[in-house]
Chain A
Amino acid sequence: MTAGLENIRIALGALHANWFRAVLTALGVVIGVGSLIAVSAVSAGAQRQVADSIRRLGANVILVDGEFISIGSAQSATDRTLTPSDAGAIAKLPAVVAVAPQQDMESLTISAGRYRTVTHLFGVTEAYANIYNQVASRGRLISASDVSFGRSVMVLGRIPAASLFPGKDPIGRTIRVGSHEFQVIGVQARKGKLGGENLDNRIFVPLPLVLRVLLGGTATKSIGVRVRAEADIRPTIDRIGVLLRRQHNLPPSYADDFSIEDQAAFVKEAQTASTTFRLLTFALGGIALLVGGIGIMNMMLVSVHERTREIGIRKSVGADPLRIQLQFLIEALVLSTLGGIAGVVGGIGATRLIGSFAGWQTLVSPRSVVLAFIVSVAVGLFFGYYPARRAARLDPIAALRYE
């Protein structure tokens, strides 16, 4: 115990004597640990953001997509295979809580007065809000009567609301889509981004209007289906598949004219993507630590060389090889551990900076701090071992004569 303290004191003395060199050497570990902390905080934040987005989008939701109807080898541009009666049949399946048929039109230009913007239009029913956790920040959402009466009303996402009515209350104003006019009844509360899409750049109108006025036809593009629990997703997907084949009178040899996907699959995809990103950035941090470790090894070798005579003196007054080895190992450990502590502090600081400048959500987990710390200690042990062993094996006579 006292021997350990003595060694730490000797190590601190030796590092203090060459403090500038020590600081430069430790910088490698500082950067390595700091980047590990920052990177894991940013990616943990991103992962949480994805999870939040999923929650906002709606959990336990199955999306049934109809394919374009083929006529011979040609495809209809607008007609899909899913019908209102499909939606009604799905609603009767067990475990299904709500069904929301929907149609969407991407990259649609809409205008209000002299302002125009490109957005993503959704034709929805009143069930949409329930399935996708949609909330109005002002006004109201699409109601059952809007749908049944086919009213020309519209709910705006935050982005089109801001770009069409800068600084003004959009409620009650008119928006033009093609030749048709809609009255704004509400603004959707903030949803954030999901994958590449900003969920706030969307507008919503009653489904019948899209079908009748904008696109024509009666089929819907897709049906959102909410089930009771996550465990219901898989069996419900199977049941919907069987149901729709029967509904569409598909012979066994025909392929499905629809596709069914679990929104959780999208979550998993997003999580896999962020795991890949995380592994990559961890690898980069690892490389920085490796370089830092090599720096420590280099400095320790120089230090052993410079202090050959000191080693000889210590051996002549009774230091056995193990003590010498321990002394230099502890010196490397002290160096890498101080570097690790500085790296943790710097990494947390960098995380805060990144968070406030880039506006990303970040999350410094205690686990990553502990891990980074352990890794920096391990780097000191690993890269200090060889120089320390070299010191321990010096021939005392040659070391004493060394100039």
Chain B
Amino acid sequence: MADLTETPVLQLEDVTKLYRAGDVVVEALRGVSFAVGEGEYVAITGESGSGKTTLLGILGCLDRPTSGSYRLVGTEMSSLTESHRARVRGQRIGFVFQAYNLLPRATAYKNVELPLVYAGLGARERRPRVLDALAAVGLADRANHHPNQLSGGQQQRVGIARALVAQPSVVLADEPTGNLDSASAEDVLEILDRLHDEGRTIVVVTHSRDVARRASRILKVHDGLLVGDDALEPAA
């Protein structure tokens, strides 16, 4: 469990999200509250349509809750302007996507560099950090490769390097192994394990039990509500 004497990294209080599709209103989230402390490795699970993707969007500041409060390291996010939230995304949050979402025309180096470019760092400051992040995922020698010259597993590791490069408060991964074969998936999960060991806060959204098992805590979402919150023993 999170140490609640400290400010949680993520804190949701009674978050709801409504989507309006014509006359139909869909309640994607119907009042979700939880907190994630620093260094936690949390898996959010649920079937498709349960609301877990909506939840990820809110946690990643890509979306705003309809009501309720979302604090990222103590700062209220639901009321921020779009450009302010963009800055938060670039500096406090690292995304890892199922489909990698690398820019196809940019090299691995350029892809990893992107958050630092938007954070306003100069090229000279960016370089060591980009190289460190690539080294951390074992791709130091692939810096000048384009995504189409890399395997799926390698592309996802570039994605993780990009998520790490700005030293974010939390890494948000959306089905990070969904497009990978089991060997590559294992590589990616091992990197996440190692990041956890290094004390990073990680939230993984997945419907895979194997992925969820690696986390230290599993949140179950069903029908827009949080239905389970289980701490796990570290995997052997």
Interchain CB contact (< 8 A) of A315 among B86, B102, B122: B86
Do A314 and B118 have beta carbons less than 8 Å apart?
A: yes
When distances are taken between beta carbons in the complex, the residues of chain A under 8 Å from B117 are: 6
Within 8 A of B (CB), among A377-402: 396-397, 400
**Do A317 and B118 contact each other (CB < 8 Å), given the known contacts A2-B123, A397-B57?**
yes
Cβ of B127 under 8 Å from chain A: no
Interchain CB contact (< 8 A) of A318 among B82, B102, B103, B115: B115
A396 and chain B: residue at smallest CB distance: B62
When distances are taken between beta carbons in the complex, the residues of chain A under 8 Å from B123 are: 2
When distances are taken between beta carbons in the complex, the residues of chain B under 8 Å from A6 are: 117
Whole-angstrom distance between the alpha carbons of A320 and B120 in the complex?
12
Whole-angstrom distance between the alpha carbons of A314 and B115 in the complex?
8
**Do A400 and B118 contact each other (CB < 8 Å), given the known contacts A316-B89, A319-B86, A322-B83?**
no
Whole-angstrom distance between the alpha carbons of A317 and B87 in the complex?
8
Cβ of A313 under 8 Å from chain B: yes
Cβ of A321 under 8 Å from chain B: yes
Cβ of A86 under 8 Å from chain B: no
Do A318 and B90 have beta carbons less than 8 Å apart?
A: yes
Do A400 and B87 have beta carbons less than 8 Å apart?
A: no
Do B122 and A2 have beta carbons less than 8 Å apart?
A: yes
A313 and chain B: residue at smallest CB distance: B101
When distances are taken between beta carbons in the complex, the residues of chain A under 8 Å from B63 are: 397
Cβ of A120 under 8 Å from chain B: no
Within 8 A of A (CB), among B55-87: 57, 60, 62-63, 82-84, 86-87
Do B82 and A317 have beta carbons less than 8 Å apart?
A: no
| Chain B 146-164 per-residue mask, 1 if CB under 8 angstroms from chain A, else 0 | 0000000000000000100
What is the distance, in angstroms, from B150's C-beta to the closest C-beta of chain A?
16
| Chain A 202-217 per-residue mask, 1 if CB under 8 angstroms from chain B, else 0 | 0000000000000000
Cβ of A265 under 8 Å from chain B: no
What is the distance, in angstroms, from B155's C-beta to the closest C-beta of chain A?
13
Within 8 A of A (CB), among B85-105: 86-87, 89-91, 95, 97, 101-103, 105
Cβ of A309 under 8 Å from chain B: yes
Do B101 and A309 have beta carbons less than 8 Å apart?
A: yes
Whole-angstrom distance between the alpha carbons of A397 and B91 in the complex?
18
Do B83 and A321 have beta carbons less than 8 Å apart?
A: yes
Q: Count A-B pairs with CB separation below 8 Å.
A: 63
Cβ of B114 under 8 Å from chain A: yes
What is the distance, in angstroms, from A225's C-beta to the closest C-beta of chain B?
76
Do B62 and A316 have beta carbons less than 8 Å apart?
A: yes
Within 8 A of A (CB), among B107-166: 114-115, 117-120, 122-123, 162, 166
B106 and chain A: residue at smallest CB distance: A13
When distances are taken between beta carbons in the complex, the residues of chain B under 8 Å from A310 are: 103
Interface bin, chain B: 20 to 34
When distances are taken between beta carbons in the complex, the residues of chain B under 8 Å from A315 are: 62, 86, 89
Whole-angstrom distance between the alpha carbons of A2 and B118 in the complex?
11
| Chain A 292-320 per-residue mask, 1 if CB under 8 angstroms from chain B, else 0 | 00000000000000000110111111111
Cβ of A358 under 8 Å from chain B: no
Do B83 and A400 have beta carbons less than 8 Å apart?
A: no
**Do A320 and B82 contact each other (CB < 8 Å), given the known contacts A315-B89, A396-B62?**
yes
Do B87 and A17 have beta carbons less than 8 Å apart?
A: no
Do B57 and A321 have beta carbons less than 8 Å apart?
A: no
| Chain A 308-345 per-residue mask, 1 if CB under 8 angstroms from chain B, else 0 | 01101111111111110000000000000000000000
B58 and chain A: residue at smallest CB distance: A397
B120 and chain A: residue at smallest CB distance: A3
Within 8 A of B (CB), among A166-203: none
When distances are taken between beta carbons in the complex, the residues of chain A under 8 Å from B97 are: 400
What is the distance, in angstroms, from A308's C-beta to the closest C-beta of chain B?
12
Whole-angstrom distance between the alpha carbons of A109 and B103 in the complex?
82
List the interface of chain B (C-beta within 8 A of A): 57, 60, 62-63, 82-84, 86-87, 89-91, 95, 97, 101-103, 105, 114-115, 117-120, 122-123, 162, 166
Going nearest first, the 9 A-B pairs with the smallest beta carbon separation are A318-B90, A320-B86, A320-B83, A318-B118, A317-B115, A396-B62, A317-B114, A397-B62, A313-B101
User: Mind listing 16 A-B residue pairs with CB under 8 Å?
Assistant: A2-B122, A3-B120, A6-B117, A14-B105, A310-B103, A313-B102, A314-B118, A317-B95, A318-B91, A318-B114, A319-B90, A320-B82, A321-B82, A321-B83, A321-B86, A397-B57
Q: Assuming A314-B114, A320-B86, what are 16 further A-B pairs, CB within 8 angstroms?
A: A2-B122, A2-B123, A13-B105, A314-B118, A315-B89, A316-B89, A316-B101, A317-B89, A317-B90, A317-B115, A318-B90, A318-B166, A320-B83, A323-B86, A397-B57, A397-B63
